[in-house]
Chains A and B, each alone.
Chain A
């Protein structure tokens, strides 16, 4: 499968990514391809992630972030050069992140699979224990 790099940002809530413990935990969880910081008062991780598809890139990034206790993704911002690329998937993911009661439908099989995985992730309660 051809792998490409995809640009997107994950906005987060909960424990701050600027906290040393959280920052190191995110790096060790796989976010060494992200720039972590704060913009307009909100924490975010800007990714340039290599994956087989944009959907897989976003899904694995959310998985990595959610593996760190106390940090949750609240929104995905697509930064691909073509604004239409991944737009439907991004919108569906953001719908799932804000109200995960129902998994939206998408036309593509790969998109549906990846969205379903994200939806199942967001349905799980985050751990409140500190890492380490």
Chain B
């Protein structure tokens, strides 16, 4: 499997959806034994006391279930988009 390509097909499909939505996918540099990479959203959400923050999700190399891991990534995408929509609605009011 080429570097930069996730070994699990279902996870690859989910990452494709995240990329299409503007998320940045970075392959891990080797600091983690179980992390394949990181996905980061393109938005600045209201965050903690430190200010605005982007969604960050760490992608596992070998999740217990590739299907569940892929679904979780899609859920993270939906939550991100829902928060963006909510913020835009609040700003327009």
Contacts and interface: CB of A to CB of B under 8 A. Distances in A.
B60 A41 contact: no
A65 to B, nearest CB: 15
A100 B35 CA distance: 34
Contact of B48 (A5, A28, A32, A42): A42
Contact of B64 (A28, A32, A38): A32
B34 interface: yes
Given A35-B76, A40-B83, A41-B50, A48 B68 contact: yes
Interface in A22-77: 23-24, 27-28, 32-42, 46, 48
Contact of B35 (A20, A33, A79): A20
Interface residues of A, number: 22
Contact of A38 (B46, B56, B63, B73): B56
Interface residues of B, number: 32
Given A35-B76, A40-B83, A48-B72, A24 B57 contact: no
A120 to B, nearest CB: 27
A48 B80 CA distance: 19
Interface string B33-71: 111001100000111101001011110101111001101
A38 B72 contact: no
27 contacts: A17-B58, A18-B56, A18-B58, A20-B31, A23-B34, A24-B35, A27-B33, A27-B34, A27-B60, A28-B34, A32-B63, A33-B65, A35-B57, A35-B60, A35-B73, A37-B55, A37-B58, A37-B76, A38-B53, A38-B55, A38-B57, A39-B45, A39-B55, A39-B76, A40-B53, A41-B48, A41-B50
Interface of B: 31-35, 38-39, 45-48, 50, 53, 55-58, 60, 62-65, 68-69, 71-73, 75-76, 79-80, 83
Given A23-B58, A39-B45, A42-B48, 7 more contacts: A5-B68, A27-B33, A33-B65, A37-B76, A38-B55, A41-B46, A48-B68
